[in-house]
Amino acid sequence: METRPAPPTTRFTAVVKDDCETCQLVAPVLAEIAGAGRDLVVYWQDDGGFLGDAVPNAADRKLEHSFRLGVEAVPTVVRWEGDAEAGRVVGWHRTEWRSLTGLDGLGAELPEYQPGCGSRSVEPGVREALQVRFGDTGIRSRTVRTPPFADPVETCYDRGWTDGLPVVPPTPERILRMLEGTSRPPDEVVAQVPPEMAPCTVEKVAINAVMAGCRPEYMPVVLTALEAALEPGFTLHGVTCSTCFASSVVIVNGPVAERIGMNAGLNALGQGNRANATIGRALNLVVRNVGGGRPGEIDRATLGGPGKYTFCFAEDESDPAWEPLSVSRGARPGRSAVTLFAGDGIQGITDQRSRTPDELARSLAMALQAVGHPKLYEWAPAVLVLSPEHYAIFREAGWGRSEVVTALHERLRRPGSEVVAGAGGVPEGVPPSRAGEIVPKFREGGLLVVRAGGPAGLFSAVLAGWPGGRAYKESHPVTKEIDE
């Protein structure tokens, strides 16, 4: 083997693992390098027995050397000139190894090339743990050390960080993993969160997403939901502080819903799906923890509602004939988007007898008339969640979104004389000045129709909107595309 002299300050560090065919393959080559007098140390991640006695080696079971060297695959060989890295090769590539080591006959018996294996230091969950143990996490939020022997879940309760349910403790490892779910820098300020108008960084969103139980791939949805909620038109301050029942309802459209496993089918408005449950919860935890919207303090809800824990679902987009909610509200077809609606809980509608679209539209309109109050018109907006069996009646008649929404609006109009204050012996109602008008129940854009639900059941659902929406120009649903 021809050997080109190396400067006395040259040394080599290699990282290998036993569970790697390429590492096994290069073990004789590493012995050749050591045998040629090169200053070499080989760190092994699991078991170094396969290296034999001819190779100077040391354990790296804690993966500190692997982490500090930034090793992503093994074998990796690094050449040093003094303290400076002068080159590295990853995997087995004969020409590159010869060039790096200055040993021209190196590995003559081996194939020209063989890729390496993933380093243990970058296995799922390991990289972040090593970052915490050996590096600078870059996390700027204040560090809280739990007392000795304390349960971190209880620490979160003690500090007032939870919504009443246990949260996932926001450890630095989990926060780093959550931040992997977005390309946005951790210190980017997303917005000022009411009611305290506190600046909220991507990092703070990630911490609350950890606590909510999100997976990192939910982060773009959580961030966009927060941004949509903070559009002035959504009036998150009012929704949070109101005496009413409302909370932020998050409706997700587009390919992201399927990609992250959201539920638009059976029990779509209920429990059991991680993405549905935790995305909505993360938004509410940000409002609580960053914005200061805590119940009993500035959240003044008289009764509140379960949606204040979480209320998030995806629209069923399985029928291409149905225009997605987001597209009807200006999002581009094929793009993922969230729609934020300030809504109460669920009012079920049972109609098992309507068979024509006209019958069903009349029937659904009767149920929608109760939103706010049967005699309040142009008051709160509403979402109608249309189940598959109800939708089928419209679809078979050739009705799409436009026909359904138009028909509902038409069947919801009433002579003002029937719904003015005092009519029917009920003081509530529209102002007497409207007695001569035909009054619409909802303002234009104030009735959102969404498809969701399981295949069986002639049931749909109404989500009544927050009465702040009576000033529709000031307070209304917001749709925002997700930047993926």
Partner 1 sequence: MTLLHDPTAETAPLVRPRAAPPASLDGKTVGLFDLGKSRSDEFLDHLEARLRAKGAVTRRFAKPTNAKPATPSILADIAGGADVVVEALAD
State which residue, 26 or 193, has the beta carbon closest to partner 1: 193
CA distances to 25, 69, 118, 352, 444 from 115, rounded to whole Å, are 11, 19, 10, 63, 61
User: Within 10 Å of residue 370's Cβ, how many Cβ atoms?
Assistant: 16
Report if residue 434 touches partner 1, rule: CB under 8 A: no
DSSP-based three-state secondary structure for 172: helix
Report if residue 141 touches partner 1, rule: CB under 8 A: yes
State which residue, 101 or 289, has the beta carbon closest to partner 1: 289
State which residue, 285 or 385, has the beta carbon closest to partner 1: 285
Shortest Cβ distance from residue 188 to partner 1 (Å)? 15
Taking alpha carbons only, the member of 442, 449, 447, 450 closest to residue 470 is 442
CA distances to 76, 81, 369, 450, 472 from 96, rounded to whole Å, are 12, 17, 75, 59, 67
Taking alpha carbons only, the member of 240, 287, 247, 280 closest to residue 263 is 280
> Any idea of the CA torsion for 359, 362, 363, 367, to the nearest 10 degrees?
170
Q: Which stretch binds partner 1 (CB under 8 A): 20-28, 111-119, 237-245, 260-268?
A: 237-245
Report if residue 474 touches partner 1, rule: CB under 8 A: yes
Report if residue 478 touches partner 1, rule: CB under 8 A: no
Instruction: Select the residue interacting with partner 1 from 290, 338, 368, 448 (CB under 8 A).
Output: 290
Shortest Cβ distance from residue 317 to partner 1 (Å)? 31
**In degrees rounded to 5, what are phi and psi of residue 302?**
-65, -50
Instruction: Select the residue interacting with partner 1 from 475, 478, 480, 482 (CB under 8 A).
Output: 475
State which residue, 99 or 162, has the beta carbon closest to partner 1: 162
DSSP-based three-state secondary structure for 153: helix
Shortest Cβ distance from residue 449 to partner 1 (Å)? 24
Taking alpha carbons only, the member of 197, 303, 194, 285 closest to residue 243 is 303
Q: Which stretch binds partner 1 (CB under 8 A): 94-102, 150-158, 380-388, 401-409?
A: 150-158
DSSP-based three-state secondary structure for 11: strand
Q: Provide the residue type at 233 as one letter.
A: G
Residue tagged 């089928």 (tokens): 392
Contact between 290 and 284 (Cβ < 8 Å): no
Instruction: Select the residue interacting with partner 1 from 169, 261, 295, 415 (CB under 8 A).
Output: 169
Q: CA 145 to CA 151: how far, in whole Å?
A: 11
State which residue, 59 or 471, has the beta carbon closest to partner 1: 471
Report if residue 156 touches partner 1, rule: CB under 8 A: yes
Q: CA 281 to CA 225: how far, in whole Å?
A: 11
Report if residue 170 touches partner 1, rule: CB under 8 A: yes
Q: How far is CA 76 from the centre of its chain?
A: 35
DSSP-based three-state secondary structure for 64: helix
Strands 382-386 and 459-465, by their bridges, are antiparallel
State which residue, 158 or 319, has the beta carbon closest to partner 1: 158
Report if residue 146 touches partner 1, rule: CB under 8 A: yes
Shortest Cβ distance from residue 207 to partner 1 (Å)? 4
Q: CA 204 to CA 200: how far, in whole Å?
A: 6
Report if residue 178 touches partner 1, rule: CB under 8 A: no
Report if residue 90 touches partner 1, rule: CB under 8 A: no
State which residue, 145 or 353, has the beta carbon closest to partner 1: 145
Q: Which stretch binds partner 1 (CB under 8 A): 34-42, 229-237, 302-310, 395-403?
A: 229-237
Q: Which stretch binds partner 1 (CB under 8 A): 71-79, 149-157, 267-275, 302-310?
A: 149-157
Instruction: Select the residue interacting with partner 1 from 91, 107, 213, 291 (CB under 8 A).
Output: 291
State which residue, 26 or 206, has the beta carbon closest to partner 1: 206
User: Within 10 Å of residue 323's Cβ, how many Cβ atoms?
Assistant: 15
Shortest Cβ distance from residue 261 to partner 1 (Å)? 25
State which residue, 474 or 483, has the beta carbon closest to partner 1: 474
First to last CA, the chain: 53
* H/E run at residue 193: strand 189-193
Shortest Cβ distance from residue 51 to partner 1 (Å)? 36
Q: Which stretch binds partner 1 (CB under 8 A): 7-15, 23-31, 217-225, 290-298?
A: 290-298
State which residue, 44 or 218, has the beta carbon closest to partner 1: 218
State which residue, 252 or 285, has the beta carbon closest to partner 1: 285
Site string for partner 1, 189-228 (x = CB under 8 A): ----xxxx-xxx---x--xx--x-----------------
Q: Which stretch binds partner 1 (CB under 8 A): 10-18, 57-65, 97-105, 147-155?
A: 147-155
Q: Which stretch binds partner 1 (CB under 8 A): 39-47, 145-153, 258-266, 456-464?
A: 145-153
Q: Provide the residue type at 265 as one letter.
A: G
Q: CA 34 to CA 394: how far, in whole Å?
A: 78
Q: Provide the residue type at 130 as one letter.
A: L
Q: Provide the residue type at 407 as one letter.
A: A
Strands 337-350 and 57-59, by their bridges, are unpaired
> Could you list the residues that contact partner 1 (CB under 8 A)?
132, 139, 141-148, 150, 152, 155-156, 161, 169-172, 175, 193-196, 198-200, 204, 207-208, 211, 232, 235, 237-239, 285, 289-292, 468, 471, 474-475
